[in-house]
C-alpha cells in the first residue's frame, strides 16, 4: 500500500506537470476510500449508497466499516484506514468532538478527511456535506407552533421533544433550530428527552411521558428512527387519533424517510423536514475528485439542476468547508413530490 501511494503520488505530480487531469491516473492508481459510519441501515444506508455508487462508477474502491455507535471503535477504525494507506477518509461521526483525534491522525499522515451528515467540532476537516439541520428544526418548530395556535387560538400547549445523540452536532442543530422557534412562546412547555437515535429508547420515552401527562405534539430528531415505533406505541396506549380527529397528537420530525411519508399520507403524522440524503455522498465524491485533481475549492453558491436543495452555499468555517443543503418542509400538501428522497 505504501508503494502504491508513492507510485500514485509520482503519477499525480507528472499529470499536474503536464496539465493533465488525474481522473484517469487516479483510476490507474486504484484509489481507495475508507468510509466509517455508525451503521449502514436505514437512512445511513442511503447516505452510504449515495457515496458508494458514484465512487465505484469512477473505479474507486470503497472500504466501509461500522461502529455501532461506539465512538472509540470509530476512532480505531479510522486508525486502521490510516495504517492501510487509503487515499481519503469519509466519516459520519459518532462523536463530533471525539472524532478530532482521528482527523488529526489522518492529517498527519497526509490523508484528506471528509465528514457527511454531521460536522466535527474542534478540528478542521476538508469538507462536510450535510443538511441545514438548524433550518430543519426551524421548519418543524414553525409547524408545531402553527398547529398549537390553530388548536387553542394562541401558541400554547405541551410538546414532547425526543432528541438524537446530543454529543453530535447534528442533534445540537436540530434541537437549537426547534428551540429557537418554540421558546419564543412562554405558554408552550417543552419536555425534552434524549433518545440517542435508538428506536427502543424513543418508545420508552413516549410511554413514560404519556403515562404521566397529556401532550399536544411530539417533535423527533429523526423520523427514520422514531416515527413508526412512536405511532405504534400511541396505538398500544390507546392515545392514537388520525389527523383531523379529536385527540390527534401532532407529530413533526426531521429526515423525510419513506416510512414517515407514508404515515403523513395516512394522517398518522403531520410534518417532516426532509433531507436531501442521496446527494450528501455524491457531493462528497465530487469534492474528493477535485482534491485529487489539485483543484482549488472556493466559497460560493453551488447549483445542481433539479435538486430541491439547490442553490446551496459552500462556506469556510472553523471546522473546514461546510456545504449546507436545504431541508424541504413536507406536509400532506407536498408529500408526493417525486424529488423527495423518501419517494425515490
Give all domains of the chain, ordered by start, each with its CATH number. Answer: 2-125+276-325 (3.40.50.2300), 133-274 (3.40.50.2300)
Q: What is the dihedral of CA 26, 47, 117, 335, to 10 degrees?
A: 140
Query: What is the DSSP-derived secondary structure letter of residue 228?
Result: H
Supply the DSSP string of 255-276, one letter for each residue: E--HHHHHHHHHTS--EEEE--
Residue 11: predicted pLDDT: 43
Query: HSE on the CB side for 60, CA within 13 Å?
Result: 26
Are 51 and 35 in contact, with CB atoms under 8 Å apart? yes
Mean pLDDT per 10-residue section of the chain, whose length is 344 residues: 43 43 49 96 90 96 96 97 98 95 97 95 96 96 98 98 94 97 98 97 98 98 96 98 97 96 98 94 96 94 93 95 96 96 91
Residue 278: predicted pLDDT: 87
Can you read off the three cell numbers belonging to residue 42?
436505514
Residue 29: predicted pLDDT: 57
Count Cβ atoms within 10 A of the Cβ of residue 115 and give its class: 0-12 exposed, 13-18 middle, 19 or more buried: buried
CA distance 48 to 282: 9
Can you read off the three cell numbers belonging to residue 269?
403524522
Can you read off the three cell numbers belonging to residue 4?
502504491
Q: Which of 229, 222, 148 is nearest to 189 (CA)?
A: 148
CA distance 48 to 62: 10
Residue 344: predicted pLDDT: 86
Are 223 and 259 in contact, with CB atoms under 8 Å apart? yes
Can you read off the three cell numbers belonging to residue 75?
476512532
pTM reported for the whole predicted model: 0.83
Residue 16: predicted pLDDT: 43
Alpha-carbon distance values, 327 to 41, 78, 114, 130, 298 (Å): 21, 30, 21, 10, 23
Cβ neighbours for 83, distance < 8 A, ≥ 6 positions apart: none
Supply the DSSP string of 299-322, one letter for each residue: -EEE--TT-TT-SEEEEEETTEEE
Can you read off the three cell numbers belonging to residue 209?
411521558
Residue 12: predicted pLDDT: 44
Amino acid at each position: 500500500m505504501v508503494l502504491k501511494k508513492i507510485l500514485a503520488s509520482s503519477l499525480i505530480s507528472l499529470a499536474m506537470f503536464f496539465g493533465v487531469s488525474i481522473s484517469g491516473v487516479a483510476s490507474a492508481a486504484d484509489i481507495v476510500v475508507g468510509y466509517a459510519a455508525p451503521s449502514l441501515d436505514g437512512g445511513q444506508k442511503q447516505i452510504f449508497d449515495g457515496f458508494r455508487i458514484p465512487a465505484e462508477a469512477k473505479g474507486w474502491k470503497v472500504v466501509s466499516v461500522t461502529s455501532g455507535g461506539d465512538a472509540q471503535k470509530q476512532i480505531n477504525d479510522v486508525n486502521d484506514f490510516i495504517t492501510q494507506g487509503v487515499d481519503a477518509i469519509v466519516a459520519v461521526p459518532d462523536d463530533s468532538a471525539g472524532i478530532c483525534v482521528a482527523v488529526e491522525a489522518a492529517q498527519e499522515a497526509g490523508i484528506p478527511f471528509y465528514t457527511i451528515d454531521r460536522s466535527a467540532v474542534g478540528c478542521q476537516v476538508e469538507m462536510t456535506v450535510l443538511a441545514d439541520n438548524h433550518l430543519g428544526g426551524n421548519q418543524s418548530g414553525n409547524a408545531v407552533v402553527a398547529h398549537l395556535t390553530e388548536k387553542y387560538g394562541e401558541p400554547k400547549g405541551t410538546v414532547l421533544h425526543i432528541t438524537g445523540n446530543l454529543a453530535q452536532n447534528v442533534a445540537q442543530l436540530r434541537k437549537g433550530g426547534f428551540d429557537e422557534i418554540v421558546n419564543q412562546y412562554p405558554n408552550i412547555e417543552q419536555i425534552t428527552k434524549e433518545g440517542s437515535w435508538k428506536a427502543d429508547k424513543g418508545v420508552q420515552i413516549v410511554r413514560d411521558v404519556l403515562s404521566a401527562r397529556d401532550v399536544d405534539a411530539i417533535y423527533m430528531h429523526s423520523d427514520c428512527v422514531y416515527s413508526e415505533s412512536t405511532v405504534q406505541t400511541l396505538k398500544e396506549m390507546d392515545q392514537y387519533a388520525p389527523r383531523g380527529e379529536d385527540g390527534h397528537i401532532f407529530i413533526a420530525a426531521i429526515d423525510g424517510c419513506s416510512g414517515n411519508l407514508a404515515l403523513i399520507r395516512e394522517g398518522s403524522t403531520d410534518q417532516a423536514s426532509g433531507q436531501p440524503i442521496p446527494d450528501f455522498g455524491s457531493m462528497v465524491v465530487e469534492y474528493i475528485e477535485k482534491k485529487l485533481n489539485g483543484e482549488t475549492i472556493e466559497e460560493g453558491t453551488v447549483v445542481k439542476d433539479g435538486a430541491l436543495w439547490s442553490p446551496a452555499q459552500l462556506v469556510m468555517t472553523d471546522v473546514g468547508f461546510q456545504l449546507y443543503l436545504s431541508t424541504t418542509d413536507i406536509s400532506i400538501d407536498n408529500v408526493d413530490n417525486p424529488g423527495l428522497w423518501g419517494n425515490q
